[in-house]
Amino acid sequence: MNAESARPGARDAAPSDTPRERTVGGIYAFSAYLLWGFLPLYFVLLVPTGPWELVAWRIVFSLVFCALLLSVTRSWGRLARIVRQPRLLGLTALAGGLIYVNWQVFIIGALTGHVIETSLGYFINPIATVLLGVLVLHERLRITQWIAIGLAAVAVVVIIVGYGSFPWIALTLAASFSLYGLVKKRVGPTVDAVSGLTLESAWLMPVAAVLLTVVGTTTGLTLGTAGTLHTVLLVGVGAVTAVPLLFFAAGARRVPLTVIGLLQFVAPILQFLIGVWVLQEPMPVERWVGFALVWVALAVLTVDSLVNARRRGVADVAELT
């Protein structure tokens, strides 16, 4: 889920700003969020694999899948150029650490009956990103953005007090992914999606090795022990990780950020619906109130973003005339 510039094919290298390109970009971005929205169901299908083993295999098979992509597209030279830049290498290591935290917590939530809470994390994520702009980048916020942050804070308090539990999964997902996005912005377009995920997965291989060793010596590894379909699905986590990322990167290069900002709600909405209607997770009144406050905050933030983007567009036109 990041806006780095991937090049799945030669044609994507220099897309023209045409209605057709914008439509194609919208389809790419929507497809990415659609796939991310259904991820909890995919992970549930992988039971009896536990969350620690599953994350380890996700790292391993993501690296394998990316290596295959780099070979097919003959892009190893691009990766080599990135490796020769210590600053970029350091940033990809930091990004790898953050995405590990995000993957691990998300899978724990998906496999322990907390899919609704994972959706809350991604609903909060845009607000966390705005807050990071203040704390890290020292940006000045508009009053409507402060209102959105305030509503989100009240929502968390309502969930803690009313529902009786601290939403650590949601807050960790929001924090880790917003920080991951900040690091990816620092990396910039010099690191494409495939190379970025390759390096992040490579940095995490020692973590995967430790996880697989611990699981293997305690509860035992499940790869190859739960049937052919389970094995295929478990090996497929590499593709499931990389394909939406490539779709998103291809889409983000073709459509305005305001469109991406609206489409990003597709994934948490789907996760929320899956948690409530498919997995039948509890949704008491206190949770509904908390989610409602978050949704109001997001509505305020979205309207503010659209109005501000329109004003900037009008100002740009005025400067040109």
pLDDT in tens, the chain (321 residues): 444 434 444 444 444 467 788 888 889 889 999 999 999 999 999 999 999 999 999 999 999 999 999 999 899 999 999 999 999 999 999 999 999 999 999 999 999 999 999 999 999 988 888 888 888 877 788 888 888 888 888 988 888 887 678 899 999 999 999 899 888 888 877 888 889 999 999 999 999 999 999 999 999 999 999 999 999 999 999 999 999 988 888 887 787 766 777 788 999 999 999 999 999 999 888 889 999 999 998 888 888 878 876 776 555 544 445
What integer pLDDT is reported at residue 312 of this predicted model? 66
The pLDDT of residue 313: 59
Among 215, 174, 247, 195, CA closest to 57: 215
Q: In the numeric block, which tokens belong to residue 82?
A: 């990135």
Which of 71, 75, 24, 69 minimizes the C-alpha distance to 191? 75
How far is the C-alpha of 103 from the C-alpha of 56, rounded, in Å?
Answer: 10
Nearest CA-CA partner of 130 in 122, 143, 121, 139: 139
> Which of 38, 166, 169, 49 lies closest to 101, judged by CA?
169
pTM score of the predicted model: 0.85
Tokens of 315: 């100002």
The domain limits of the chain are: 17-116+168-282
What sign has the CA pseudo-torsion 52, 58, 61, 66? negative
Cα distance between residue 171 and residue 122, in whole Å: 9
User: pLDDT at position 59, please?
Assistant: 96
